[in-house]
A and B are shown apart, each in its own frame.
Chain A
Amino acid sequence: MEILVTLDVLKQYKGEKVVKFPPDTLVTKEARMYAVKQGMELYVGERKVYDSDYSNGISSVRAVISVIGEDRVGIIAGISDVLARANVNILDITQTAIEGLFTMIMVVDIADSKISFDELKNQLSCRGEELSVRVDAQREEVFHFMHRI
């Protein structure tokens, strides 16, 4: 019986879906992360071992899109068009144009996006160039981590 299950111990079980250890076994953090990556389920006695949640419970399906540039006709239409084609839902939108400087911020749901986030960013910045504005897209967690305790 292993008292401490480390990464090396777990590697011997590679390929197995469910691995059971006797009660009171300690599983190291590295071993737990390995199990998650390999899709293994670990049990210590009857108790299932979970890996600790990393994300403060924030789901990663939302992104913030910011548009900054000179005000002109068709900026919102142009950006929304890219989003609609990608099946990205707009959750919130706010925009101002003060003395010709246009800023727009959108919160969008990317859970059902048809394209990868990387591709979406590329398409947005291409459209931004056509409209002579700067478009950035970032996952929402950045703002959550920075501005909320």
Chain B
Amino acid sequence: MNFTRDEIIETIRMVQAEQLDIRTVTLGISLRDCASSSISAVADKIYGKLMDKGRELVPVALALEKEFGIPIVNKRISVTPIAMVAESCMESNYTPIAQAMDRAAKDLGIDFIGGFSALVQKGFTRGDMNLLNSIPESLALTERVCASVNLATSKAGINMDAVLAMGRIIKEVAELTGGQDGIGAAKLVVFANAPEDNPFMAGAFHGPGEPETAVNVGISGPGVVNTVVSNLPKGADLGEVSEAIKRMAFKITRVGELIGREASRRLGAPFGIIDLSLAPTPAVGDSIANILEAMGLERCGAPGTTAALALLNDAVKKGGAMATSYVGGLSGAFIPVSEDAGMIRAAADGALTLEKLEAMTCVCSVGLDMIAIPGDTSAETIAAIIADEMAIGVMNKKTTAVRIIPAPGKKAGDSVEFGGLLGRAPVMPVSTFDSSVFARRGGQIPPPIQSLTN
């Protein structure tokens, strides 16, 4: 036999007991050839192209799942930022395009479609403005469409006009979907340094530099890493912890590499990237917080959490980088509060605060993610929170993001329920000191000196 019994048992245990899975196979599709002067023509072209290119995605993913015995949790599509595709339309409301995307997603049986997006780090075009204005209605009227806006890059700095606009838009989206605790805001993310090949939602879009189609794979497996860390002897030092995580990250990533190559071959679309990520789910044990706690913290959020997360994130990258030929996307441990049972517990216990989460985003992907805040938080305060997070990304040349949900009618200490992978979240308190004068100044925060690399 080519493999030992223990190796085979290990793989089976990882899948059956420790929730090892492929988090997502995301097919990127370019819509750059779908432009037209009428919105209905654009919507029709987009629907037609998605149905044509995406037809095989779900059947192929289901077949791979069966043959290789590795669950593929999500099948998704990312498209060219719609602001670019729809720019030449005479109409200014892009909601019909979101509806066409939603219809295609449902007809194809995919979970989410990303790319209702605009890149505005240095300013707005007409298409960008129209898209931003269309976000609230579009997210309220659709189920599976995800929107993202890139507000800053290390090369361009931070577009503070867009930051304030997004503060208002996030509030509006949450209010329009108030009946479901503001779930619309869970499908909207703002970025600094957004990657063009990210397979994860809500931020996935198919960047303008990408080919016609590409298969991008997001891996997962916090449960597997948690088991490895928990099984280490109590006296193991942090170098040994890192080593153990690295080994496991290699194995997890190899599975993604295999599925990615095979999916690419069967779909006839080039293999894009593997996103070296640890993405939690609300399932018990499938939690990033639990890994940090297994390293010796009483609760996630306790002093030491940032260092533990930095170690984890770095070890995952080092182990994963060798296992795949192309690394891309967000690549790092995710810390979405509502999607991680350990984070939820830590937040409910008061161990984990917004400020600690902000510090944690300096050393991992991606940012303030899936955090519910009181519904009466002002747009200016939300904008200031976004600005802080953008600054971390811009100055450190990394991707950061904000996906917060100002839950309508909820106060700190309440709880919101989104269901499914989005999970539930305790409403976290936000500083009540006022930042509105700063947020309203607008303009562009210039890029840092370290961006002058040429």
For residues 5 through 31 of chain B, which have their beta carbon under 8 Å from a beta carbon of chain A?
A: 5, 7-12
- Which residue in B1, B11, B270 is a CB contact (below 8 Å) of A33? B270
Known pairs A7-B212, A33-B270; A139 contacts B8 (CB<8 A): no
- For the complex, what is the distance from the CA of A19 to the CA of B102, rounded to whole Å? 39
C-alpha gap A137/B70 in the complex (Å): 11
Contacts of B5 in A (CB 8 A): 94, 96, 103, 105
Contact stretch, chosen from B61-69, B277-285, B427-435: B61-69
Whether A66 lies near B8 (C-beta < 8 A) is: yes
Task: Pick the most buried of B8, B9, B69, B271: most chain A CB atoms within 10 A of its CB.
Answer: B8
Q: Is B269 an interface residue (CB 8 A)?
A: yes
A30 CB to closest chain B CB (Å) equals: 6
The answer, yes or no, to whether A107 is at the interface (CB within 8 Å) is yes
Interface string of A90-122 (1 = CB under 8 A from B): 001010100000010101000000000110010
Residue B380 at the chain A interface, CB threshold 8 Å: no
When A30-B212, A30-B213, A107-B1 are in contact, do A145 and B270 touch as well, CB less than 8 Å? no
How many residues on the A side are at the interface (Cβ–Cβ under 8 A)? 35
Q: What residues on A are CB-neighbors of B68 within 8 Å?
A: 138-139, 141-142
A94 to B9, CA, bound (A): 12
Is B45 part of the binding interface, using a Cβ–Cβ cutoff of 8 Å? no
Find chain A residues with CB under 8 A from B271 CB: 54
Other-chain contact of A142, B9, B11, B63 (Cβ < 8 Å): B11
Convert B350-377 into 0s and 1s, putting 1 for each residue whose CB lies closer than 8 angstroms to a CB of A.
0000000000000000000000000000
Instruction: Annotate A16-43 by CB proximity to B: 1 below 8 A, 0 otherwise.
Output: 0000000000001110011011000000
Asked whether B258 is an interface residue with its Cβ less than 8 Å from the other chain, the reply is yes
Please give me the residue from chain A that is nearest to B70 by CB atom: A142
Tally of A-B Cβ pairs under 8 angstroms: 90
Does B265 count as interface, using CB distance less than 8 angstroms? Answer: yes
* Cβ-closest chain B residue relative to A33: B268
A103-B9, A105-B5, A143-B3 in contact; A30/B270 too (CB < 8 A)?
A: yes
Chain B's closest residue to A121 (CB) is B66
Chain B's interface size range is 20 to 34
> A136 near B257 (CB under 8 angstroms)?
no
Does B261 have its Cβ within 8 Å of any Cβ on chain A? yes
Q: Dominant SS at the B interface?
A: helix
Answer yes or no: B251 CB below 8 A from chain A CBs.
yes
Contact between B258 and A141 (Cβ–Cβ < 8 Å)?
yes
Contact of B11 among A28, A37, A146 (CB under 8 A): A146
Known A55-B261, A138-B69; judge A143-B268 contact (CB<8 A): no
Q: In the complex, are the beta carbons of B211 and A54 less than 8 A apart?
A: no
A residues in contact with B66, CB < 8 Å: 117-118, 121
Rounded to whole Å, the gap between the CB of A38 and the closest CB of chain B is: 9
Which residues of A approach B to under 8 Å, CB–CB?
A: 7, 28-30, 33-34, 36-37, 54-55, 64, 66, 68, 92, 94, 96, 103, 105, 107, 117-118, 121, 136-148
Enumerate 29 A-B pairs (CB-CB under 8 Å) in ascending A order.
Answer: A30-B213, A30-B270, A33-B269, A33-B270, A34-B268, A37-B268, A55-B261, A64-B3, A66-B8, A66-B12, A68-B12, A94-B5, A103-B9, A105-B5, A118-B63, A121-B66, A136-B69, A138-B11, A139-B67, A140-B2, A141-B68, A142-B11, A142-B258, A143-B7, A143-B8, A146-B7, A146-B255, A147-B11, A147-B251
5 further A-B pairs in the complex, CB-CB below 8 A; given A103-B9, A138-B11, A142-B11: A29-B270, A34-B268, A66-B12, A103-B5, A136-B12
